[in-house]
């Protein structure tokens, strides 16, 4: 019995240590699992956007802006690591992403930093500060045909 209690205690200590040393990016998702179309209006990009190993890939004949909802648990500065698509040309993977924080009321938002992709298989960081009761999102503007977004990691 004593050995079981000791093992249980050591296991609990190990679990607490694992949580305490977890990486700063406590949330992650594949881009395809989290995207919505931001634009263009008047077209239906959902018919030509596809998934490749979790990446959302623009197979349209025109650029598409993508919005990603990123749930957070607390206020503070949020770091969002964005990975673009790993294949295609530099031109197909040249676009910008920007983070935002919103309260849900008109005119009450915070603009985060902009990141610029210029080649496939890049990883870039955008930051935004969220105050109490804010939600955050990332918008990748005008992702060209053949380009895409692969993965998102962010602080909660």
Average pLDDT rounded to a whole number, residues 82-103: 96
7 pLDDT higher than 50: no
State how far the Cα of 51 lies from the Cα of 154, in Å rounded to an integer.
Answer: 21
* Rounded Cα–Cα distance for residues 31 and 21 (Å): 26
Q: With 90 as the cut, is the pLDDT of residue 64 above it?
A: yes
**Which residues, other chains included, contact 62 with Cβ-Cβ below 8 Å and sequence gap of 6+?**
40, 43, 145
Cβ burial, residue 5 (10 Å; 0-12/13-18/19+): exposed
pLDDT score of 106: 67
Least confident interval from 4-8, 60-64, 77-81: 4-8
pLDDT at residue 9 greater than cutoff 80: no
So what's the pLDDT on residue 8? 42
- Per-chain mean pLDDT for the chain: 86
pLDDT surpassing 70 at residue 15:
no
Q: How far is CA 126 from CA 17, 43, 45, 103, 118, in A?
A: 29, 29, 25, 19, 15
Distance CA(91)–CA(71), nearest Å, equals: 31
pLDDT (0 to 100) of residue 83: 98
Span 139-145, average pLDDT:
98
Strand partners, 80: 126, 154
Domains of the chain, each with CATH number or no CATH: 26-154 (2.60.120.260)
Task: Output the pLDDT for position 3.
Answer: 55
The pLDDT of residue 109 is 86
């Amino acid at each position: 019995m004593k050995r079981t209690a000791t093992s249980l205690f050591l296991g609990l200590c190990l679990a607490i240590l694992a949580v305490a040393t977890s990486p700063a990016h406590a949330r992650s998702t594949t881009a395809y699992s989290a995207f919505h179309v931001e634009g263009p209006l008047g077209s239906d990009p959902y018919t030509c956007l596809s998934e490749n190993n979790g990446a959302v890939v623009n197979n349209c004949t025109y650029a598409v802006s993508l919005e990603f909802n990123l749930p957070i648990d607390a206020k503070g500065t949020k770091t969002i690591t964005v990975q673009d698509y790993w294949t295609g040309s530099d031109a197909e993977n040249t676009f910008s992403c920007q983070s935002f924080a919103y309260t849900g009321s008109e005119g009450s938002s915070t603009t985060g930093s902009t990141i610029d992709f210029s080649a496939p298989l890049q990883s870039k960081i955008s930051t935004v500060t969220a105050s109490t009761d804010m939600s955050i999102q990332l918008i990748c503007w005008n992702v060209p045909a053949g380009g895409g977004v692969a993965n998102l990691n962010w602080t909660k």
